[in-house]
Amino acid sequence: MFGLAIVYLLQITIALARRNKFVEKMVDNTPLLLMDGEKILGHNLRKARVSESDLRSKLREANITQLSQVKAVVFETTGDISVLHSNANHALDLWLMKDVNRD
């Protein structure tokens, strides 16, 4: 019974702490830009602990045959890697990249 009360109190404490922007920023991660067009962002690859080999694998998985076909590659908060294809007829909607960390 005592253990259950402790778990419940911890859950409430964490839920309340997450409302604080500073705590939220420390706990939650944000999507990270790995490629901007054809440019590979090496410092972001290291930050995300993604190797160039893993990146190439994801590009092949996304049917990329030329780097010019890449608009952006994003390391998502779930650990997935999203590949956004470039399209000469349509620009990338900036809303899609709103929360992506470009550092």
Task: Kindly write down the DSSP assignment for every residue of 30-86, as one continuous string.
Answer: --EEEEETTEE-HHHHHHHT--HHHHHHHHHHTT--SGGGEEEEEE-TTS-EEEEEP
Residue range 37-55, pLDDT digits in tens? 999 999 999 999 999 999 9
- The predicted-structure confidence for 46-99, as pLDDT tens digits, reads as follows 999 999 999 999 999 999 999 999 999 999 998 999 999 988 788 888 898 998
Distance CA 32, CA 100 (A): 5
**pLDDT(21) > 80:** no
**pTM (2 d.p.):** 0.74
pLDDT of residue 22: 74
What domains are there in the chain, each with its CATH number? 1-28 (no CATH), 31-103 (3.30.240.20)
Could you tell me which of 15, 28, 34 has the C-alpha nearest to residue 77? Answer: 28
